[in-house]
Amino acid sequence: FKETADDLRQSVEPEINMIQQEVKMVEQDLQSSMKEAEDTIKGAGDAASAGINEGNKPA
């Protein structure tokens, strides 16, 4: 039984490691995309605020 478990571990471990690496890459990609979206939203909000403030200034 121990031999079978060791054989199974040896065949499965590389796959698990590869999957973990892929998950890490996807997480990093997601974080990057979220930060980019957040920056875009902030930029759009700042631009809208600037536009509103410009419109409210007395002549």
Compute how many other C-beta atoms are within 10 angstroms of the C-beta atom of residue 12.
10
Greater confidence (30 vs 41) lies with 30
Greater confidence (56 vs 51) lies with 51
Average pLDDT, integer, range 16-43: 96
Greater confidence (52 vs 37) lies with 37
Domain ranges of the chain: 1-43
Q: What does the H/E/C string look like for the chain?
A: CHHHHHHHHHHHHHHHHHHHHHHHHHHHHHHHHHHHHHHHHHHHHHHHHHHHHHHHCCC
The confidence score (pLDDT) of residue 53 equals: 65
Using a cut of 0.75, tell me whether the model's pTM lies above it.
Answer: no
* Dihedral sign computed on CA atoms, order 19, 23, 29, 33: positive
Instruction: Look over the chain and give the mean of its residue pLDDT values, rounded to a whole number.
Output: 88
The confidence score (pLDDT) of residue 48 equals: 77
